[in-house]
Structure formats: structure tokens, C-alpha cells
Amino acid sequence: VISIRDSWVRLRTLTSAEYEELFRTEVAWHAGAGWRFAGRTPSYSEYVASLYADSIATLGVCRLDGSLLGVVIAYEPDHRSGTVWIAVMSTRQAKGSGLVLVGLGHLITELFTNWSFRVVLAESAAPAYEQFRSGMRRSFREQGRLEAHRFSDGAYHDVVYLAIEREAWMAGDGQRYLRRRAEANRAVLPPAGGSAPPARPFTVTVHR
Amino acid sequence: VVPIYDERVSPYLRGIESRDVPFLYFLVAEYPESWPRLCDKGPSTPQQFEFKLHDGVLAQFLVEVEVNGERIPIGLVGLHRADHLSGVVWVESVGLPGDHHEAVRDRALADLIDRAFSAWRFRRVCGTHHGFERPVFANVGDVPVREEVRLENVFLHEGMYWDRVFSVITREDWLGRQETVAR
């Protein structure tokens, strides 16, 4: 069990009540035909199982008061080659705040600190990638894009493939950028309790 | 032991039956890198293997050749990870190594790609291979193959890190191609 906490967010295991919240978020009518299930509406049990499919870490990203902002997942580890894939999902309220990406940054640090992975891989629909690419060039290396590969919101979008290498990430640029971005977006999501969170260094706790 | 046969022979494609599983299990055991869908997550028991063989598959066929009046299996071609929303499907082609086996399997793969674009409404047929392997669309006809993604140094094989490549054939390119594969 991994638990990570800083002055912005907390990463912890999901509760069963949160499965329902996530299911409602991802399978809602207004969410459109989600790409994860290629437009299908999965059963609730299939949905919950998908959060853990070939996963080594499925963590809720929460505000300090415990309310859920999103989920980060590390999946399909290849321990022989030292690679693992990551995924991120935000609740409707947290979209645009950048806080879930701060949580994702913690997960990446965890994967390079307490696991022996060399490279973290990610795929992202191009519209989502465009929102954070400018600040991430030093940490995320684009590996190509599958062109017009995913249909959503009435259009075909590219799918971008990214690699994050241990040395680049641990140099700190990526993590710093994610925090700056969240700070710039503070107005989107007021901090828990209605006031600015106290500044303190983040801590990582790993219970095995 | 697979007899030598004329590499110009036409492949026979048929559905997977229980009696074919030992041959396919042999392919996984002998050439695991060539079948990432079944091997990336480590070894399987025969029972797990039979389940994974069909998991996520849209269509797959055993590739056989006729030698001295007898049909012998040389590999498998299949479509999996079908995304009908986006019109995308992935192919796999695995089998015995050797130029003559690969030449016949390429013709089977070309037939399967043809079916992907004619029996379904897919826009893109995608394939993946490692840097040390022969590209999956190496010889399926005179058609542009777009290498769109190259994940650099992500697969350890015989002491070296190799790229993993994603390649694509589009519907427009396939339907407009000049067929060059010998029939």
C-alpha cells in the first residue's frame, strides 16, 4: 500500500464509495463515448476491475480533506526491460485544476524511487497533451503519435506517446512544472477548507 | 520437423481448434518475443494460454500449407484490440521463422488486412514489432506503411535495449494499392 501526502494533495487507496463516484464520472452521458471502453458502457463490476487490470498501483488523488480529485494508475509493468505505463483520470470538479497532475508527478517519482523502472510510458489524446506539453519538454520525450487514431467529441484525434526517463525526471524539472501549473490554477479549485494549504515538504510512505 | 515446401504455395486459413493449441503453445515457448500479446506478462500455463489466445481477439486464423497432400500449420494471423468507435484494429502475425514460412504468412496477413477493410469499416490497421524483428507489414503488398510511433529502448533482448515500433496501413492506402504479392 502506497500513501503519499504533500501540502496540495494526498494519494491513497480508493474506497468502494469512490468506485461509484468514478463510475458515474466516466460512464456519465455528458462524458461522451469514453475511449477506454471504445464507446461501450461497461458493467459496474467490469469498470472496477478495469481500474486494477495489470496494475501495480491504483491510487486516488485527494484533497487534504479526503475528497477525491482523480485517479492515477501505473500498469503493465515490464520488470525485465524496466518500463511501466501510467494513466490519469480527473473527476469533473478537478478538471483544469492541475492538482491531479501533481498527484501523477508523485506517482512517477515513486516509480523511479521505490521501483527500479528506467522509463515510464504514457499515451494521451492530443487535446489533453496540448494543455501541458509546453512545460514538460525536458521531462517528457515525445515518441510519435498515432494520427487521427481516436474518435471523440465528433472528431478524430491523434494519440501521443510519451516517455519519461529516470534521469530527466529525477533532475526535478517535471515535478516543479506540475506544481507551478497547479499553483497558477488555484482559482479553479479552492484549497480544502477554503484557505491556502500550509507549505510543507511532501512525504512518501510505502507500506508493503 | 517441418518439411520444405515451395514458398509460392498459397496459405490455407482456418479457425483455431483445440488440436491446434499445442502447436501455438510451442510458438510461444520458442519465440516469445514475436507474440507480445501473449508473452509480455510472463509465462502461462497451458490453460491460461488457451484463454489468453482468444482474449480480446476479433478474428484469427491458423495459417497452413499443403505438403505432400497434408496440411501443416506454420503460424497464425489475427485481428485484436478492435475499436469500432474509432475504426482501428491491430494485427498480429506469428509463426515459424524462415524466409519461406514468412513469405507464405505475409500472403495470409495480406488476406486478413483485406478482410479488415472489406468486412468491417476499419479506417486503420495497426501493427507492432521490436527493432530486432522483421517489420510486421514488411511484405504485404505495394502499399505505404506509416511508422507513426517508435518507443525508444523499451525492450530488453539479448543484452540490448530495442525500440518498439507502431506501424499503420490506412484504408485509403490499402484500397488504392497496386497488388504486388504473387498469387
Q: How confident is the model at residue B88 (pLDDT cuts 50, 70, 90)?
A: very high
Going by their DSSP bridges, the two strands A119-125 and B70-83 should be labelled as unpaired
Would you say A121 and A84 are in contact if contact means Cβ atoms under 8 Å apart?
Answer: yes
Name the more confident of B178 and A202.
B178
Residue A191 has pLDDT above 90, yes or no: no
Rounded to whole angstroms, how far apart are CA atoms A135 and A174?
Answer: 8
Residue A17 has pLDDT above 50, yes or no: yes
Interface contact A54, partner B, CB < 8 A = yes
Tally of CB atoms within 10 A around B16:
19
Span of A59-63, B33-37, B107-111 with lowest mean pLDDT: B33-37
Rounded to whole angstroms, how far apart are CA atoms B181 and B102?
Answer: 13
Q: How confident is the model at residue A200 (pLDDT cuts 50, 70, 90)?
A: very low
Q: How confident is the model at residue A161 (pLDDT cuts 50, 70, 90)?
A: very high
Residue of chain B whose Cα is closest to the Cα of A144: B149
Residues in chain A closer than 8 A to B152 (CB atoms): 141, 143, 163
Residue of chain A whose Cα is closest to the Cα of B37: A76
Long-range contacts of B18-27 (CB under 8 A, 24+ apart): B20/B62, B20/B73, B21/B46, B21/B49, B21/B50, B21/B53, B23/B73, B24/B49, B24/B53, B24/B62, B24/B76, B25/B49, B27/B75, B27/B76, B27/B94, B27/B95, B27/B96
Q: How many residues are there in chain A?
A: 208
- Its ipTM equals 0.84
Rounded to whole angstroms, how far apart are CA atoms B13 and B125?
Answer: 19
Rounded to whole angstroms, how far apart are CA atoms A193 and A156?
Answer: 41
Q: For position A163, what pLDDT does the model report? A: 96
Q: Do A151 and B41 touch (CB under 8 A)?
A: no
Model confidence pLDDT, tens digit, residues B170-179 = 999 999 875 5
Q: For position A33, what pLDDT does the model report? A: 59
